[in-house]
Amino acid sequence: MSERQSPPRRSPEYVWLITGTLTALAVVFSVLLAVRHPGWSDHWLAALLALPFFIVLGIGLRYVQIRRHGVALGLLEIPLVIGFYFAPAVLVVMVSATAMLIKQFRLNRKPPPDKLAFNVARAAAAAATAGIVLEILPPINGTGPMTWIVLGVAVTVHTLVTLFAVAAVMAAVQGLQAGVETIRVGWVALLAAEVCIVIGLVFTIALDTTWWAAVLLFVLAAVLTLAYRSYSDFLRQHHTLAELYELANAVVESGQDVTLIDSLLVRARALMQSEYATIRLPASGRYPEVLLTSKIEAQGLLDFSPTPAALTERATAGRRSVAVGSQIATDQDLLPVVREAKVKDCIVVPLRSGQAVIGTLEMVNRLGDLKHFTTSDVQVVETIAAHAAAAVENSRLVERLRYDAYHDRLTALPNRRRVIDALTEAVKIRTGGEVVAVILFDVDGLRDVNESMGHDAGDKLLAEVAGRLGKIAGPGALVGRIGGDEFVVTLRAESTEETVRLATEMREQLRGPMAVGTLTLDVDTAAGVAVQPDHGDDPDALLRRAELAANAAKALPYGVQLFHPALESRAVRRLGLAADLRRALDSGQLEVHFQPKVTIQDRHLIGVECLARWQHPAHGEVSPEDFVAVAEHTGQLHRLTEVVLTAGLRHCQEWADAGRPLSIAVNLSARTLLDPRFPDQVHELLKQYRVPPHQVTFEISEPNMLGEIERALPTLYRLRDLGVRLSVDDFGTGASSLSYLRQLPVHEVKIDDSFVQGMATDSGDLAIVRAVIGLSREFGLTVVAEGIESELTFDLLAELGCEIGQGYFFSRPLPVERLNTWLSAQTEPEETPTGEVRRLRAVG
C-alpha cells in the first residue's frame, strides 16, 4: 500500500519569532497606555478582584477542532468589556497576561516554554491592541449606544488579534494552508465573541447603575456558564452519535478489507479527534498480519503504530480495554511507559469475535490544547471497536465463502467454476502457433479405496494426487479439481501433438506408489485431452469433451485419449431419450414423489417438496439430472415443470380438503424463469386448484442462476407479487451467493446437502452452515437444511437455530399413496394458535 508522510514540522524558532513580535507589540502599546493614564496604578485593587474572573472564564473554554488544533469558544470577552469600561486599559492588559500565565500552569505543571510564552504574549498583545483602539476612538461617556460601539469595536479587535496570532503560528509551523484554514473557520470564534460582548455590555450597564448588581450578575454569569457548558456538551454528544452512525454506515458499505480499514480508521480518528488511529490484526491462518495507521494530515494509511507494545499486550491478554492518560484512572502503572514513548494518552480496545480476540483498535494523543481522553471516550472507542470487529469478521466470512465457491475444500485447488472462468479468459487470446490445452485426469480405483479403507483414506489419496499434479504441471499451468476423482490441467502448448505428449508424461509421473496411512498404493489415472481451437472455443464444451476422452482412455492400455467426434455418440442416445421423455409426459408415465419438510424446533410437518421420477421401460430408472438436462436441451422443460406443479397443486388441494393442509415446493430452472409467460400460468393454476399463493414455494438452484440473474429478475418479481414464496436452492455451491441474496426477491435459503451431511464430522462444513444461518437471519430469510440423515445433524441444526429441515432422517421422497400412509402412521394432529398442524410422533 502506498503511503505519504505528513508534511514536516518547521523549527520552533518560527514560533519564537512570532512570540517576540507579539511581546514587543504588547510592551510598546502598554507603555503608551500607561503614559496616557498616569494614575492607573491606583486601581490595583479592582485589578486584583477582576483576576479570578479572567481566570475562571478563560479556563472554561470549549474547542471546535481544526486539524491538529482547536478554535477557542469562551466567555473571556465578558470581563474584557467590563474591565475596559471601569479600569485603565493597561491594567486590563496586565490582568489578561497574568490570567493566561496562571491558566497555562494550571493546565500543565510544566508547559512547553514556546507554548507558554506565545500564549502569554498573545493575550497581552491582544488586550494592549484593544486598549490602543479605545484611545483612538471617541472617549467613553456613560453607557449609551456610542459606548456600546466603542467597547464592541475594541473587544472585537482583541478577538481578531488573537485569531490572526494563532493563524500566524499555524502557518509558520505547519504551512500556509494550515494558517489559511484557521482563519477560514475563525468566524465561529468571532460570532461567539460578539454574543459575549453583548452580554458584557448588559453587565456593564447594570454595574454602572449599582454595584449591588454584581451579586445578581454573578448568579446570572454562573447560570450562563453552566448553560453554555451543558449546551456545548450536548452538541458534542450529538456530534459523536451522528459520527458513530455515519461510521457504522461506512463500515457496512465497505466490502473489501482495505476499503473497510481505510474508511474505519479515517472516520474513527476524526470522531475521537486523535492524532493516530491504528488497527492491528495478527496473522491468522491464511490471513496475513495487518498493521495500518491513520495519522492526522497524512494522506493514505501508514504501516506503523505509536502505541507502546505493553498496552497492546495487556489489552489482548486481558481481553479488555486499556486506557492510559492524565484524565483516566485505570492502568496508571503504564503511565511511565506511555510517557517514555512520548505519547500523551492512549486507548487500546480489543476486537472480539465471540470469546477470541482478533486484533486491537488503538487511539493515540487526543488533539487540542485542553483535550485529553476520558473514561467516556473509552466507551465510544469500544463502540467503534464492536463495529470494526463485526465488519472484519463479516469481510473475512465473505472472503471465505467466495474462496470456497471457487476452490475445492479437500485439495484447495480451483474447482470447476474457477477452471471454466480461467478457460473463458484463455480462449479469448489467440496466439499463432499455440493451442489452449485441457487435460483431464480421472483417478482410477478411488471407489475401491473408499469402500475398503474408508473415505478418509480416499481423501488422503486425492490430496496426494493434487500435490503431485501441482508439482508436475509447472508454474504456467492451472491445476483444478472438477469432480470427485477428476482433476484438470489447463495450459498453452505448441500443438495438439505436444499436448498429447505432455499428457502422457504427466500421467507417467503421476503413476507410482502413493502412501495412504500405513499402506502404499499404486494409483493409475486415465487422461483425456481436448484443445482449442481444434475441439471448440466454448470452455464448457472443452471440459465436456476432455471428460468424454478420459472415459474412453480407461479402456486403453496407455491411458491417454485425444478427443474425437465419435466420442459424442452418446448425444444420439440423449436424442432418443428426449423422444421417450415427450411420450412419458404426454402419457402420464412421469411420477411426482413428495419429500416432507419439517420444522426443526417443534417437529411440525409444514409441507413437501415435489420431485419428478421417471421409470423408463427399457433403461429402468432415469436419474432426474439426466432427464432434466434432456428437457432443457430439447425445449420440454416448460412441460415438465407444468406436470410437476400441477400434480403438486392437485394434491395440495386434496390435503387441504382432508384437513391436512401442506405447502408444496417446486424446483425451477433458470430457463423457466426466462419465460415471461410462466407467472401467468402459475396464476391460472393457483385459481384453478384454489390454493393460496403463500402455500407454494419455488426453489431456484443458485449455480444455475449464474449469468442469468439480470434476465430472470422480472419474472422473479412477478412471482413474488403473486404471493408465492421464492427460495435459493443449493445455497453455498455457487460463486456469488451473498451478492445474489441482496439482489433476488427471495424469502428462503436452502443450504446445500453437501454442507449439511458433512457438518457433524467436518468443522469446515459446520462453520459454513453456521455462517449461512447467521447471514440469512441478517437478511430476514427463512433457512431450510436439506440432506439431514442423522440425529446428530438434526440436533446441531436445532442448536444453530435452523428453522426447517428435510432428508432421509425424516423420510425419503414418496409417491402420494405412500406419503398419505406415512402421514397417518408418523404424524398426529396438534392444536397451535394458528390452527391444527401435523406433528411427527418420532423422528428417525
Mean pLDDT in consecutive groups of 10 residues from the start of the chain, 844 residues: 41 73 84 78 64 60 46 68 79 78 66 77 84 85 82 85 81 71 72 80 78 72 69 60 64 56 76 85 80 80 87 89 85 86 89 85 76 81 82 76 81 88 86 86 78 76 86 86 88 89 89 73 85 87 89 83 76 68 85 93 91 84 80 84 93 88 90 88 93 92 63 88 90 60 83 88 88 87 92 92 92 92 86 75 61
Measured CA to CA, the distance from residue 619 to residue 584 in angstroms comes to 13
Map 14-41 to HEC letters. Answer: HHHHHHHHHHHHHHHHHHHHHHHCCCHH
Phi, psi (degrees; rounded to nearest 5) at 289: -65, 140
Helix boundaries (H) for 137-186: 145-174, 176-184
Please give the span between the terminal C-alpha atoms of the chain, in angstroms, as a whole number.
56
Residues forming a β-bridge with 69: 66
Q: What is the CA radius of gyration of the chain?
A: 40
Name the 3-class secondary structure at 592. Answer: strand
By C-alpha distance, which of 735, 704, 748 is closest to 609?
Answer: 748
Residues 575-584 as b/e (b if ≥16 CB within 10 A, e otherwise) read eebbebbbeb
| HSE toward the beta carbon, residue 272, CA cutoff 13 A | 37
pLDDT attached to residue 48: 64
Residues 461-474 as b/e (b if ≥16 CB within 10 A, e otherwise) read bbbbbbebbbebbe
Measured CA to CA, the distance from residue 373 to residue 346 in angstroms comes to 8
One-letter amino acid at 293 equals T
Question: How big is the CA angle at 437 (ends 499 and 734), to the nearest 5 degrees?
Answer: 145
- Parallel, antiparallel or unpaired: strands 782-786 and 804-806: parallel
Measured CA to CA, the distance from residue 418 to residue 413 in angstroms comes to 9
Q: Determine contact, residues 276/305, Cβ cutoff 8 Å.
A: yes
Name the 3-class secondary structure at 513. Answer: strand
pLDDT attached to residue 58: 58
Give me the residue label for grid cell 471457487.
Answer: 406
Residues forming a β-bridge with 786: 806
Name the 3-class secondary structure at 116. Answer: helix
Q: Which residues contact 494 (CB under 8 A, 6 or more apart)?
A: 433, 434, 435
Neighbours of 755 (CB within 10 A): 25
By C-alpha distance, which of 90, 120, 86, 83 is closest to 103?
Answer: 120
Residues forming a β-bridge with 441: 487, 527
Question: How big is the CA angle at 629 (ends 627 and 633), to the nearest 5 degrees?
Answer: 115
Strand positions, DSSP E, 568-629: 591-599, 604-616, 620-622
pTM of the model: 0.44
Measured CA to CA, the distance from residue 278 to residue 291 in angstroms comes to 7
Q: Which residues contact 441 (CB under 8 A, 6 or more apart)?
A: 465, 469, 486, 487, 488, 489, 506, 507, 510, 525, 526, 527, 550
Measured CA to CA, the distance from residue 710 to residue 716 in angstroms comes to 10
Q: Determine contact, residues 338/250, Cβ cutoff 8 Å.
A: no
pLDDT attached to residue 3: 39
Neighbours of 78 (CB within 10 A): 27
For the chain, give percent helix, strand, coil, nearest 5. 55, 20, 25
Reading the block at residue 477, the C-alpha cell is 499451468
Give me the residue label for grid cell 478554535.
Answer: 71
DSSP 517: T
Measured CA to CA, the distance from residue 162 to residue 164 in angstroms comes to 6
Question: How big is the CA angle at 649 (ends 647 and 655), to the nearest 5 degrees?
Answer: 100
Phi, psi (degrees; rounded to nearest 5) at 433: 80, 10
Reading the block at residue 743, the C-alpha cell is 439482489
Measured CA to CA, the distance from residue 671 to residue 35 in angstroms comes to 99
Measured CA to CA, the distance from residue 25 to residue 37 in angstroms comes to 18
